[in-house]
Chain A
Amino acid sequence: METLLAIRAVAWKLADQTLVFADWDGFREMALPGDRPAGLLRWCARMATSLGLFDATWWMPYVLGALALGVSLHLLMRSPTRDVSVRRRLTSLFAWCVLGFLVAFAPLAFIGDFLWDEKEHSAPLFNLFGLVVSCGLFAAFRSWIRRPWGLVSVCALCAVLFVPFGAYALLAGLASAVCAWRGSVIPGACGALRSPFRGWHWLASAAFLLAAFPASCAWIYGDMACHIAWRYAQGFRLPCGPVGTLRHSFEMERCVRARDWRGVMALADAYKGSGRDFPLRMEIAFRILAQFHLETLPDDLFRYPIRTGHFSTDADQQSMDGYQLLFEYGLLQPARRSIYERVFTAGWEPAHHLYLGDIALLCGERLLAYRNYRQLRRCPFRRALADARLAALADATLFPQEELGMVAAAHSVWLEMGKAVDAPFFSTGNRIELIAYNYFRTLRKAPEFMARMLISVLLLDGDVPVLVQNVPWLDRITPPPKPWPLPVQEAIAAYASTLDDTKQAEFLSRIRPTALSPQATMRLDAFKRVARILGDSLSQKDKDRVRRDFGDSFFFYDCWVNPSVQRARSAQNPDRLDAEGR
């Protein structure tokens, strides 16, 4: 059932990822070029994938798989042959086994034309379409080839059909020609079926096998189906682990794309129900993103087990791409770069045109936005979205404020701060804290939601001294008489505790009394007592105890979670273990 339920999530993801143009030019570009045979199959497979039929009904793949299977078998059964035993052979135990494979795994092929790593698992739906086409052509050719000029016409047809159907047309032609030539059963199976879908030797050996033993078509097509199934099995072997995690991550992606931030929060919090002790990196990254958009940073920052040690703009490669995070934070130029790099590693997706268009729209590059929205408009099921964006280009009052308003505001802030910096920003990654540290050391000019974000950056990187420099402006986030967010109180309290009495008093005197609650200080004292008692070694029992009591505090994070802090301390004391016994 897990596998079945994952099909739906996978189908959605693949539908979202597949770029195919539903207009005549798109069809012409993909389906007709003679230097890329089987273009028609490829276009059909991509269209079927992008239609997202399987979003509503998980049983649709099975229905379509059964149809494809039925059509294929019907065509094969109808092949003109005087050898009645062929039909009997097809009812043999082996044929039923092959049928069993096809029934079980052919529907999986209808999940889509690509798996997430399309370079490794290429185009199973395309191959399944080819399988059906090949069966049909074989059935037709076998009847024509015996007529006068039959061989010539079949050869001519193969040449013509090679463009749209590629090797599948040639297979059918070869098989029918050999059948007509040999005219009788040749015993033995050919052992050259090790590399299906490519190579002339496979075609030739498959054709001989078809001619030798008509029921062996089940071998050939069964072999194809087995390879399809094997590749799908490989595809489900994902770095993230069980299929449930896959579905969960795809659902979270969907919420992010729909900008359902509360949904993202709920999904991020649901990791415990999946049996995992810790959330995935992408769950952490998206939860923080959701808090950013809900303007609740950094209130409950450490109630979630953040282990990344920094304000992440990267998510797990197998799920969401970093460009999504960068875009939603208003970092548009880095997002654009990230998109183009994703395009070059994995190909264009409709979402890329949408995001590139939005980036251009927000950067005032209207013609560039127009270009990308036009491309998006050509994709099935995206026309309405593209039209809305194009309307926004023509009429500023139609700007999608709900979707892009906060991104635009964030972008303006980065732009304003970036004007003070002339040098190129050379990034080895997409670490926001590098930006924050190098260029934005003050919160004075930032709007509230950006100030909240920058404070969170500092907290996650454990840079308390910089946070302390901005103490005078923390009241912008929580004006008096409200206390500051708890993680900030904890960080300030931790900093104050490192000062001697005189400096501490002076430091605290600059802070309004209502900003810090006594609980923060009391908790810090309790944490220090525990830390003193436990020393540098932690048993599993102690680890669990500390995490249970203080895991949601800045103290715990800064002492035992933040990897950069850990590395610094380990460098000073190599024997010291962290809270996880590492």
Chain B
Amino acid sequence: MKVEKLKVGGIKSVLALAFALAAFAAQAAIAVWPDYVGITVPTNIAPLNFKIVPEGPDAAAALTAADGDRIDAAVDGVGNARWHAAGWRRFLAAHAGESVVLTASRGEDRLTGTNFVARLGMDTHLTYRLIAPSYTLYDELGIYERDLTSFDERPLFRNVQLATKMCINCHTHNRADPDQYLFHARAAFPGTMIVSKKWGERKVDLKTSGSLGAGVYPAWHPGGDFIVFSMNETRQTFYFSNPDKIEVVDLRSDLMLYSLADNTVAIIEDDPYLFETFPTWSPDGKCLFSSRARTPFTTMPTNETERFSQYVGQYEKVRYDLVVRAFDANTRRFSEPRIVFDAQKQGLSATFPRVSPDGRWLVATVGPYGNFHVWHNDADLWLFDLAERKMRRLSELNSPKSESYHTFSSDGHWMVFSSRREDGTYTRPYFAHFDAEKGRFDKPFLLPVENPDDHFRRMFSYNVPEFSNGPVKKSAREMRKLVARQAVPAQRAP
């Protein structure tokens, strides 16, 4: 195989291909990657290290406040700019609530932009699952916790600690509480691990007689006494040439209410002609939101193969509305569902509803059809004003690629969401400041890492990013013990 010699400047200039696109977009001869220009940063975020592109020597970067206070980044020979951690923290703390100017330069070329330092910090930790873009199989995966104030990342649990073919998923904190969380294990050591301040820790088998299956997508009740789970029968199919690559569908889905007090499960909805999934609670715990769609089955299929065959033929017609039910915690009863967003009527499908802590706003992932929107390039985030009953596409957050799973911080001033805007395949977490008064988000920014090249070296997606306002106290070894337990079967509520 013959290799032609590179024409321009060796490999370093070649590697600048993607970054040249950023430079073009910025209308400047140089750009920074990740794009940390024009953003609002929390006071406690780790240093936002970046790369000055095109790569090359003699670059410089600095942050300057209005009063002349300045910090300079250490820039190496290829343009990687790194802020000194202590200096960065001091600078942000000193200029909270102020605009600061970011300057990057190489020779005569200069880039200048204004960032804003928020008055307050953000939840300090982020939990996510690292998983390769999977098709039908998976190997090593794990749930990790990242300290957002530094670059420290630690595994909470990795499947290799027990069995490689074990799937672990759906880790969720209750309102960013590091002492209340859950996640599932599948295949090997199956069960749901629940850690609760009030009820202790347990491993539960949520499948009961007559239920569709074990719990999948969870939603903690704010009081910590209940958890609503969806139950899903999920299948995957593959496009031949569609750039979306994969279509994941639910053949059946229902909702159940799990009570931690008495380890019981009550079925909320099990209509075989309805798909009910993605539950989420209002901050006061009085309402349960979810996504609901009518099944495409003309006649109820008798088996899974038939269901799948019928679904595949009409997959573009399955659209999810957002519905809400009132909930009485004393009686554990739900009202009939009421439509919040009639997506079906607009030719849309809304999933993953999340309500802001003040109860006014709801963010959902919306696409033209279906529910597994992480694989839909045209999936976007939408904002719903529950008070004024208005909605809009979040143009300030969306990109031509998929935006999906999102979570508000515990104070509601920040949101983290998953995006595949970089390359359409590897999901990365982005943060955005939220002005709850105006209902607007500021420009999002990518999770900071110590070396920007780490984003390319990491061949895993950051799946289901969830805030927590402190570290999980369990070590990976302790988590292993919990996962290795025998699951206690939940009982069906009378």
Contact = CB atoms under 8 A, between A and B. Distances in A.
A388 B3 contact: yes
Contact of A371 (B7, B135, B316, B423): B423
A28 to B, nearest CB: 11
Interface in B1-50: 1-4, 6-8, 11, 13-18
A428 to B, nearest CB: 11
Contacts of B237: 424-426
Contacts of B11: 387, 390
B425 A368 contact: yes
Nearest to B4: A398
B1 A334 contact: no
B4 A368 contact: no
A393 B134 CA distance: 25
A387 B18 contact: no
Contact of B315 (A341, A343, A366, A423): A423
A100 interface: no
Contacts of B1: 258, 385, 403
Contact of B238 (A345, A375, A390, A426): A426
A73 B247 CA distance: 60
A390 B16 CA distance: 10
A439 B242 CA distance: 14
A419 B423 CA distance: 22
A340 interface: yes
Contacts of A419: 241
Interface string A358-373: 0010010111101100
B488 interface: no
A390 B139 CA distance: 29
Interface string B298-334: 0000000000000011011000000000000000000
A394 interface: yes
Contacts of A334: 238, 240
B424 interface: yes
19 contacts: A334-B238, A340-B137, A344-B139, A345-B137, A348-B459, A365-B425, A368-B426, A374-B15, A384-B3, A387-B11, A394-B8, A394-B13, A398-B4, A402-B2, A418-B241, A424-B242, A425-B237, A425-B239, A439-B240
A398 B13 CA distance: 15
A337 interface: yes
4 smallest A-B Cβ distances: which pairs?
A: A418-B241, A425-B240, A367-B423, A344-B137
A341 B247 CA distance: 16
Interface string A473-490: 000000000000000000
A370 B17 contact: yes
Contacts of A365: 423-425
A424 B6 contact: no
Contacts of A333: 238-242, 245
A390 B14 contact: yes
B132 interface: yes
A374 B456 contact: yes
Contacts, number: 125
Interface in A166-180: none
* Range class of the B interface residue count: 35 or more
B139 A347 contact: yes
Contacts of A337: 135-136, 238
Contacts of A402: 2
Given A367-B423, A371-B423, A390-B14, A414 B241 contact: yes
Interface in A9-37: 25, 35
A387 B10 CA distance: 9
Interface residues of A, number: 49
Given A368-B424, A387-B6, A423-B315, A393 B17 contact: yes
Contacts of B457: 25, 374-375
B6 A370 contact: no
Interface of A: 25, 35, 258, 333-334, 336-337, 340-341, 343-345, 347-348, 360, 363, 365-368, 370-371, 374-375, 384-385, 387-388, 390-391, 393-395, 398, 402-403, 414-415, 418-419, 421-427, 435, 439
A257 to B, nearest CB: 10
A365 B138 CA distance: 23
Interface string B212-252: 00000000000000000000000001111111010100000
B139 A424 contact: no
A337 B242 CA distance: 13
B422 interface: yes
A340 B241 contact: no
A378 to B, nearest CB: 8
Nearest to A339: B135
A421 B238 CA distance: 13
Given A333-B238, A333-B240, A371-B423, A391 B133 contact: no
Contacts of B312: 423-424, 426
Given A333-B240, A336-B245, A387 B14 contact: yes
Contacts of B456: 370-371, 374
Given A347-B139, A371-B423, A418 B245 contact: no
Nearest to A397: B7
B425 A424 contact: no
A390 B17 contact: yes
A488 to B, nearest CB: 27
A23 B41 CA distance: 33
Given A387-B14, A393-B17, A439-B240, 14 more contacts: A35-B476, A333-B241, A340-B135, A340-B137, A344-B139, A366-B17, A370-B18, A374-B15, A384-B3, A391-B6, A395-B7, A398-B7, A423-B315, A426-B237
A258 B240 CA distance: 27
Contacts of B313: 423
Contacts of B134: 340, 344
Contact of B17 (A336, A387, A394, A421): A394
B4 A388 contact: yes
A304 B192 CA distance: 56
Nearest to B6: A391
Nearest to A400: B1
Nearest to B243: A363
A343 B139 contact: yes
A371 B426 contact: yes
Contacts of B18: 366-367, 370
A396 B375 CA distance: 29
Nearest to A119: B164
B3 A385 contact: yes
A568 B11 CA distance: 59
A424 B238 contact: yes
B132 A414 contact: no
| Interface-central residue, A347, A365, A371, by most chain B CB under 10 Å | A371
Contacts of A394: 8, 13-14, 16-17
Contacts of B243: 363
A344 B423 CA distance: 21
A391 B16 CA distance: 10
Interface in B116-156: 132-139
A25 B457 CA distance: 9
A415 B247 contact: no
A418 B423 contact: no
Contacts of A423: 312-313, 315
Contacts of B7: 391, 395, 398
A348 B238 CA distance: 22
Contacts of B242: 333, 418, 422, 424
Interface string B417-429: 0000011111000
A255 to B, nearest CB: 13
Contacts of B2: 402
A554 B238 CA distance: 34
A26 to B, nearest CB: 9
Contacts of A439: 240
B279 to A, nearest CB: 27
A121 to B, nearest CB: 17
Contacts of A348: 459
Contacts of B426: 368, 371
Nearest to B137: A344
A260 to B, nearest CB: 10
